[in-house]
Structures are given as C-alpha cells and as structure tokens.
Amino acid sequence: MKERGILTVVSGFAGSGKGTLMRELTSRYDNYALSVSATTRDPRPGEKEGREYFFKSTEEFKEMIETDAFIEYAQYVNHYYGTPREYVEAQLMDGKDVILEIEIQGALQVKKKFPETLLLFVTPPSAEILKKRLVGRGTETMPVIEARLSRAAEEAEGIGAYDYLIINDQIEECVNMMHHIIRNEHMRASRNIDFINKMKEGLRSLSKGE
Amino acid sequence: MKERGILTVVSGFAGSGKGTLMRELTSRYDNYALSVSATTRDPRPGEKEGREYFFKSTEEFKEMIETDAFIEYAQYVNHYYGTPREYVEAQLMDGKDVILEIEIQGALQVKKKFPETLLLFVTPPSAEILKKRLVGRGTETMPVIEARLSRAAEEAEGIGAYDYLIINDQIEECVNMMHHIIRNEHMRASRNIDFINKMKEGLRSLSKGE
C-alpha cells in the first residue's frame, strides 16, 4: 500500500508571488498534484476544461454541494468556486502530495474537515515590499492598489491559523523551503502510527528471542 | 534583537545511530549548540569538565534542583543527571538552536515546561535492523542485547508524544532531514507572532495611503 499523500493548502496575499512559487514547485518535483477547482463562471479565452477549472452549470454545482462532493466551496460575486473531493482523494490515495491554492475562508473549511491538512501562508518580507511589488506591476491605479492592501490587511487577521509562513524573499530558497516543509510533514509521528505500532510489536517479540 | 533559537530534544533507541547523527549535524552547521548535562557521577578517564559533563557533588546537584536550575533531571542507579537551565537559556537568547540528547522521561518533562520544544525520535527502519546493529557491534552477549531490545520496546510506548520520527536509514539523508526540520520550525506561524503583527500594522497604514 502506498503511503497516503499530504494535503497542503497554500494561501497568500495578491502580490506575494505564490503563483510563481507553485509553478516552480510542481514543475521541479513529481510528488505533487495541483488540485483543479470547479466554477460556475464562463471559461475565458484560452482556458481549458480540467486544466484551469472544471466548468459547471449552477445546477450541476448545487447538486455537487448537496452530495457533499466538495472539500470546500465559496461564492464570489455571482459565481461559485469549489474543490472537488473526488480528484483530491484519488491523488492522496495514490501517494501524491496534493496542493490546493485557495483563500483563507476555504483553507479554514478544509482544516476543519481534515485536521491533518498542512496550511501554508505565503507572504512578502514586509508590507512595504508588497506595496512595491503591486506598484511595480504598473497595471493598477493607486486606489486599486490601496484596496488590495486593505484586503490583505483583513486577510492578515487569519494568518495565525496557518501552520507555517513562507516568507517569499528569494524564490529559490522559498521553493526549497516549501518542498522541505511538505516532505518533512511525512515524518510527523502522528502520521506514522502504523510504523510505530510495527516497531513496538517487532521489539517485543525480538526481545523475547522470538 | 536576535531571533530566539529552537529548543530541540533528540531521543532514540540505543543502536539507533543518534550519536553519529548529532556529531554530523553539529559539525556541519554552526547554528547548533549541544547542551552539556550535569551529573553527580565521577569523571571517566578522558572526560573533561564542561565538555562531556559538568561534574557536581550530590550536595551541589540537590541545591540546583531546589533553585530550579534544571530544565529536567533524573536519577539513574545512584547518580543524578540533569540539564542546566542557564546554558540553554543563554544559547537560545543568542539565537542558537539548542539540542538536548535525553531520554523519553526527560523529554516529556521539557515539553511540559516548554511546550514550544521540538521533540525528535531517532529510530532505525525496523526492529530487525536495530537487533542486527546491536549484534553487529559484537560487544554484547545475546542476553544483554535482548535486555536492550526489551528496554527499546518500553521506550517505543512513548514515541507518540514526539513531533517527528527520524528514520535512520542513510546517515546523509538523515542529517539533512533533521537540519531541515529544525530550520523549518523557525517558520511556524506560532513562532512568528511579531512578524505577523508588524505585517498587519504595515498593511493597515499603507492601505490608508499613509
């Protein structure tokens, strides 16, 4: 039997660089599976069913909610977004470390349902650097940037519920750190009860000269 | 102000190879400080005050117990062994990651006093391999080896209280894993409350255009 994978939720401020981090992590190591969300919004040009999202009608989505087919879901503006349970379960059973990139509300839902979930929060080294990165993109006006910072301030209230901070200063270091955190999580005593029990039994019988 | 070091307790079966592990870890990286225990037993040839142990009279040791000068202590046969608090505190304040190599009873005492302590348990990959290693040393008779295995079986009852298992198969991998576990521990959200608070304040004031 394969060792079950670790379910990891990654959240972070807009501008924290978590998208780049995830791409690097999953392209370098083959133990990861990125979860694909379901949504009721329309596909945008270039988006592909099952790659960016599973596209569902509102009726389909609501039926999935009723049959408990989501690990977590939320409604933003007029659309639903959710993480289908089936894919995640299948990958975990196959020994893959599954990564969900979701926001804090969803992260807390997942942790409540699956307390063994690892919660990681990606943050720049300081608020000033976050602002600098948002300004540096040159794609948003100052009021929009201030709205994003205000939203980040709200999100920051929830960081304490996460297991680890990933302070995104150097991308290289950051990818390594995230990889090691997830890999080491496999070595938690609480995730190795079978190993411990086998060791106990083995020691008991060997100590009797069996 | 320097970031406070992590207090790590390492325990493991006799024959688990934890001695080699600790020597490799502390010789390779300079962020570690090994705690030196105090004892009331006599120095053996070649042992040096403050290197293997701090050698104390029974009266001195008892006075240290009364003044709460130990993080943990225990009595084995006719002698006391303990971890002096002062050295550990000074090294942690200096930002060093302090490692105590103590047995399970002591480990639980330390965790109770300092819940943020990281508990690592070093174990061979199986009971059979542990026996093979003990036999391979060629220094002990079979009854002695069986007594050690029997003791290991008792110790194994406590593994569940540890945070991580270090399964000592390849020493090289094992040293790296231990190093990463301790290093990543610095990134726990619960150890970075100051950082999180600073981030919250920074985001709040920047979002108001301050």
A10-24 pLDDT, tens digit per residue, is 999 988 888 889 989
Going by DSSP bridges, is the β-strand pair A37-39/A79-84 parallel, antiparallel, or unpaired? antiparallel
The Cα–Cα gap between B98 and B182 comes to 10
Q: With CB atoms and an 8 Å threshold, state whether B184 touches A189.
A: no
User: Does B19 have pLDDT greater than 90?
Assistant: no
Q: What percent of chain A has pLDDT over 90?
A: 76
B172-196 pLDDT, tens digit per residue, is 999 999 999 999 999 999 999 999 9
Q: With CB atoms and an 8 Å threshold, state whether B196 touches A164.
A: no
Please give the pLDDT value at position A1.
59
Please tell me which residue, B129 or A77, carries the higher pLDDT value: B129
Q: Which residue of B has its CA nearest to A157?
A: B200
Q: With CB atoms and an 8 Å threshold, state whether B177 touches A184.
A: yes
Q: With CB atoms and an 8 Å threshold, state whether B187 touches A200.
A: no
The Cα–Cα gap between B140 and B121 comes to 24
Helix A127-136 to helix A142-156 angle (10° resolution) is 150
Helix A142-156 to helix B193-207 angle (10° resolution) is 150
**C-alpha of B159 from chain center:** 14
Mean pLDDT across B112-136: 93
E strands present in B57-189: 70-76, 79-84, 97-101, 118-123, 164-167
The Cα–Cα gap between A46 and A183 comes to 34
Mean pLDDT across A176-204: 95
Query: Which residues lie closer than 8 Å to A57 by C-beta, 6 or more apart?
Result: A40
Q: Are A195 and B165 in contact (CB under 8 A)?
A: yes
B201 — pLDDT class (breaks 50, 70, 90): very high
B77-111 pLDDT, tens digit per residue, is 889 999 999 999 999 999 999 999 998 889 999 99
Residues of B in contact with A200 (CB under 8 A): 153, 156-157
Closest CA of chain B from A144, distance in Å: 10
Residues of B in contact with A152 (CB under 8 A): 203, 207
Closest CA of chain A from B209, distance in Å: 7
Please tell me which residue, A3 or A73, carries the higher pLDDT value: A73
Query: Which residues lie closer than 8 Å to B141 by C-beta, 6 or more apart?
Result: none
The Cα–Cα gap between A146 and A135 comes to 10
Closest CA of chain B from A133, distance in Å: 13
Please give the pLDDT value at position B1.
58
The Cα–Cα gap between A195 and A199 comes to 6
Please tell me which residue, A63 or A105, carries the higher pLDDT value: A63
Residues of A in contact with B193 (CB under 8 A): 160
Please give the pLDDT value at position B76.
85
Q: In the structure encoding, which two tokens stand for residue A77, read together?
A: 């503006």
Cβ neighbours, 10 Å, residue A7: 25
- ipTM summary value: 0.87
Mean pLDDT across B151-162: 92
